[in-house]
Structure 1
Amino acid sequence: MLRKRWFRWLIPGLNIKRWLALYSLGVGLLIIGISLLFNYQWLSYIEDIVLAYSYSLTGYYNYNVLILVGTILIVIAALLILLGTSKVIKTIIRAVLPDPSSKVSDIIFQNIRLDKGPKIVVIGGGTGLSNLLRGLKDHTSNLSAIVTVADDGGSSGRLREDFKMIAPGDLRNCLVALAEQEGVMENLFRYRFDGDNELSGHSFGNLFITALAQVYDGDVEEALEAASKLLRVRGRVIPSSTEFIQLSAELVDGTIVNGESNIPHSGQAIKRVFSTPALPKPEGAALQAIDEADVIILGPGSLYTSIIPNLLTDKIADHVRASKANKIYIANVMTQPGETLGYSLADHVQAIIDHSGVGIVDTVLANDGPLPIQMVEQYSAVGSEPMAIDSKRLQEMGIRTVRATLISQEKPAVHDPERLGKVLMDIIYAMKSDMEPRVLEYYLRRADH
């Protein structure tokens, strides 16, 4: 078996044999050079040739020529060995590089830097989570996204009902967001079939994950692992649970609304959300990731249908509270119609605490970048308002608030992934030095943010 593996390197077309030969030549010259320096007798015939040539040029035998020739051969050998080794490594690495035009050294140093990044666990779902992951993947590869799986609308809902599996939609978005290079695969995974047929409305990515789950006998975790390898994902995407979960909400008037997709359309304020079954069994990988995390991030995303559902899973909230990691809640830029109408930032945090207990959050990150008046008016027309940051109330709750500009002018209603990722990493490193929130905010207002 080992022989077969070794001979694979000699298959024509790999462009490796020539560099191995060059490397071997370098080693051979190195041996000869060292031998000449130390005057080994078995190389006397080479010495004779060198000395005879020296005599023909100078008229006498100059033994210093041997030292000079040996030194030259060693230098040439060293250069050949370095060149051969470099070419072999580049040939192997380029075979697995996502972008053939990338420089090998850049890839190596980038991977080393990302591997040394902090261990970050992000808990949530929806567009907010995938945006955040896009911003963080350029700073660390030690990312774990714990994703809600109760979505029962659209393509995810249909596949969930047909195959009695967890909703693949948010899992798909996170996989694409964490891919080393987004492009063709991103477009492919997001592609939705149109027309009037059974595939109409389905996302290719959802179908792909569903098919993989069937290939692995319903093991969604194995399916996600396979998809992660295909997309060269930085980090891990973990469902909070693999049980078939229904999310329900109790409204302030006592009415019960069943189904995640129905909750935002209830027309009334939400008192609490709960799942059936109660306390779904968690994924072991999710609990392990939380226990090993340096930082745990909640949000951004829909409060009652993306963030809190994960915390309803058995033991997840307990492990988050027990963790010594910093726990950061990222506030949405705007409130959400049907879920958080009229909520302040402290109201959001209080809802999380009511469902998960005190100690689930210790820091809040909120946007204080200016919002275009026209955009605010458009969102106000549908019941969405800029997030009100009531820092004093949060302080009374024992939670520190950090403000920073987290949006771009192009899409001011949502977080800018690059800006959000950079600010978060600054906060994470600042927390290690116990920097005061006011000092940190001043630092975050620099021009490069």
Structure 2
Amino acid sequence: MTGRKKRNIVVIGGGSGLPVILRPLRDCNVEVTAIVTVADDGGSSGVIRNFMNIVPPGDIRNALVSLSLLPEDFLDIFQYRFDSSDEFFKNHALGNLIIAAMTEMSGDIFGAVQKLGRYMMISGKVYPVANVPLVLHAAFTDGSTGVGEHEITIAHKVIEKLSITTEAGKQPVPTSEVLLAINHADMIVFGPGSLYTSILPNLVIPVVGKAVKESPAKKVYIANIMTQKGETDNYTDASHIKAIYHNVSKNIIDYVLTNTAVVPEDYIDYQKWNEISTQVKVDTNEDRKLGVTPITGDFLKLRDQGAFHDGDKIVRKLLDILDNKIK
């Protein structure tokens, strides 16, 4: 409708899943804010984090690229990952180094990302959930514990409880901009992304979880297409919701979007995507018992011998919810 004020959509997560819906949302008549986890300690981001003691830049980089209006040729350069025998540059994405440089120049990751967002002409906002790198802590059901996203992921154990601290062991403090975005949101979307290492690291920050809980926004969880080995084995969509309730707060989700299109077993390269195990099953009865409205459909995109969300289909459904076409 011409002249209607743009609605605010806040997307919370990280990893490779978040850009799947950020790019199509960028082209809709909405204000988009991506709130991105800063607990990553693996790969190029982990190396930069350890060397420079700054927020890991990888998830931030992907969010900036997804919302950027610059030509694809430039974005390809920003995303370029060095294939070099040099021990420092090997496997580093150029964009990670640029974010690290700008952070060092300004002494503030939040300000650096906002400035870079202007340079990259992003349509929306990208907010690191905190100004300092955070450390993920997991208590496993076997009584053991894990510290750090990478260690928790490779442990391949069932997670009982998740928490997060600063590197000094203190409770994280999100920026005021993060809390304002949540408070002013018309819709808050969780994911798509890894439950325990992309979505929950944001929500288990107590102040963030409380702000989301108290927000009048419509809250939508995008269930994963596939389970993740050692983390969400045998999880249904309702199991994911229960994990969020257990780690954050009950009744923090209004809708769950779950794919029902069948993933062909002979298409998936399980060695290439070693975190994938089985397709997440839908349990609409349990969803409703949890106070969540299930929305099912074909949200599947098959590519690169893996199963992913179709961002365009997901965004169309999100807008239907926003426009009250789905109750």
1:204 paired with 2:94, answer yes
- Aligned counterpart, 1:300: 192
- Match among 237, 240, 244 for residue 133 of structure 2: 244
Q: Which residue is 2:315 aligned to? A: 421
Q: Work out which of the residue numbers 156, 165, 175 in structure 2 matches 1:283.
A: 175
Contact 1:116 1:140 in 2 (8 A): no
Q: CA offsets, 1:359-400, max 9 Å, x none? A: 211111111223224236858987511111111011111111
Q: Is the alpha carbon distance of 1:381 and 1:283 closer, same or farther for their aligned partners in structure 2, counting shifts above 3 Å?
A: closer
Aligned AA (2:108): D
Take 1:240 and 1:117, find their aligned partners in 2: how far apart are those partners?
A: 23
Q: Which of 343, 349, 356 pairs up with 2:241?
A: 349
Contact 1:241 1:313 in 2 (8 A): no
Show structure 1 runs of 5+ residues with no match. 1-108, 437-449
Say which is worse superposed, 372-381 or 227-236, in terms of deviation.
372-381
Question: 1:409 offset after TM fit, Å?
Answer: 4.7
TM-aligned CA deviation for residue 141 of structure 1: 4.5
| 1:214 paired to 2:104 | yes
Structure-2 change in CA distance of 1:252 and 1:134 (3 Å): same
Query: Is residue 334 of structure 1 aligned with residue 226 of structure 2?
Result: yes
3-state SS of 2:183 partner: helix
Question: What residue identity is the alignment partner of 1:292?
Answer: H
Q: What SS does structure 1 have at the residue aligned with 2:35? A: strand
User: More helix per residue: 1 or 2?
Assistant: 1
Is the contact made by 1:250 and 1:273 (CA closer than 8 Å) also made in structure 2? yes
Correspondence for 1:442: none
Asked whether the 8 Å contact 1:376–1:385 carries over to 2, the reply is no
- Which residue is 1:386 aligned to? 279
2:82 and 2:89 in contact (8 A); partners too: yes
Aligned match of 2:296: 403
Letter in 2 for 1:166: V
Question: Within the alignment, does 1:233 sit opposite 2:143 as a pair?
Answer: no
Q: SS where residue 246 of structure 1 aligns?
A: strand
8 Å CA contact retained: 2:251, 2:290: no
CA distance, structure 1, for counterparts of residue 230 and residue 146 of structure 2: 12
Task: Give the TM-score taking structure 1 as reference length.
Answer: 0.68
Q: Deviations over 1:261-319 (max 9, x none)?
A: 12121132111122223530111110000000000011110000000000122311111
Structure 2 residue ranges without an equivalent (≥5)? none
- Give me the whole-angstrom Cα distance separating, in 1, the residues matched to 2:40 and 2:310: 25
Distance 1:333 1:129, change over 3 A: same
Please give the alpha-carbon distance, in whole angstroms, between the structure 2 residues aligned to 1:377 and 1:171: 28
Per the alignment, residue 362 of structure 1 pairs with 254
**Which residue of 2 is the match for residue 176 of structure 1?**
65
Q: How is 1:237-276 mapped onto 2 (pairs within 5 angstroms)?
A: 237-276=126-165
Alignment partners' CA distance in 1, 2:133 and 2:275: 33
SS of 1:414 mapped into structure 2:
strand
Structure with the higher strand share, 1 or 2:
2
Q: Is the 8 A contact 2:251 2:291 kept in 1?
A: no
Q: CA deviation at 1:241?
A: 0.8
Conserved 8 A contact 2:226-2:276 = no
Judge conservation of contact 1:376–1:386 (CA < 8 Å) in 2. Answer: no
Give the whole-Å Cα distance in 2 for the aligned partners of 1:265 and 1:365: 28
The alpha-carbon distance between structure 1 residues 171 and 423, as it changes in their structure 2 partners (threshold 3 A), is same
**Partner Cα separation in structure 1 for residue 16 and residue 133 of structure 2:** 22
TM-score, structure 2 length as denominator?
Answer: 0.92
Equivalents in 1 of 2:71, 2:136: separation in Å? 32
Deviation at 1:332, TM superposition (A): 1.0
- In the alignment, the residues of structure 2 paired with residue 409 and residue 213 of structure 1 have an alpha-carbon distance, to the nearest angstrom, of 37
Q: For 2:148 and 2:215, locate their aligned partners in 1 and report how far apart those are by CA, in whole Å.
A: 31
Asked if the contact 1:287/1:316 (under 8 Å) is kept, the reply is: yes
Aligned residues: 321
Distance 1:256 1:279 in 2: 19
Cα distance change on mapping 1:175 and 1:260 into 2, 3 Å: same
In the alignment, which residue of structure 1 is the partner of 2:15?
Answer: 126
CA contact (8 A) 1:282 1:314 kept: no
Contact 1:263 1:338 (8 Å CA) reproduced: no
Helix, strand or coil at the partner of 1:374: coil
Question: Post-superposition shift, 1:336?
Answer: 1.1
Bigger RCO (CA 8 Å, 6+ sep) = 2
SS of the counterpart of 1:413?
strand
The one-letter code of the counterpart of 2:295 is V
Q: 1:422 is aligned with what amino acid? A: R
